Structure 1
């Protein structure tokens, strides 16, 4: 299963936009500089009292579809 590593630094207010459905996907860059997009709903279980911060590994299936996000 292909994977990439990213860093996220999202405030609680930014995360609220994702919860409200105002934003459907997150676009960011991998640690090696590639642009990647994944569903905003994937952040729901990662949001803490101050947002989402840290490094994460995104997993994709053979067709390039997002399957999981895991904190590193």
Structure 2
């Protein structure tokens, strides 16, 4: 399954996730579904601005994580 969503997390806010104080990032997909994604999955996308952009989450039929990529 594929889910598309936008994310904006300021660098200072993401420090809570990076330190482990918050384990998951909750987003709303374009389909209106709330998705809970481990914060560690966003680390490759962290810049000095934080995390921002449009993403695609791919899961298997059992809703297990397959991949996360920035699409814009």
Superposition TM-score, scaled by structure 1 size: 0.91
SS where residue 28 of structure 1 aligns? strand
Q: Which consecutive unaligned segments of at least 5 residues does structure 2 have?
A: none
Q: 1:26 and 2:29 equivalent?
A: no
Q: Which consecutive unaligned segments of at least 5 residues does structure 1 have?
A: none
RMSD between superposed Cα atoms in Å: 0.9
Shift of 1:68: 1.6
Aligned to 2:6: 7
Distance in 1 between residues matched to 2:13 and 2:57, nearest whole Å: 20
Runs of 4+ that moved beyond 6 A: none
SS where residue 15 of structure 2 aligns? helix
Shift of 1:33: 1.4
Aligned to 1:47: 46
Shift of 1:32: 2.3
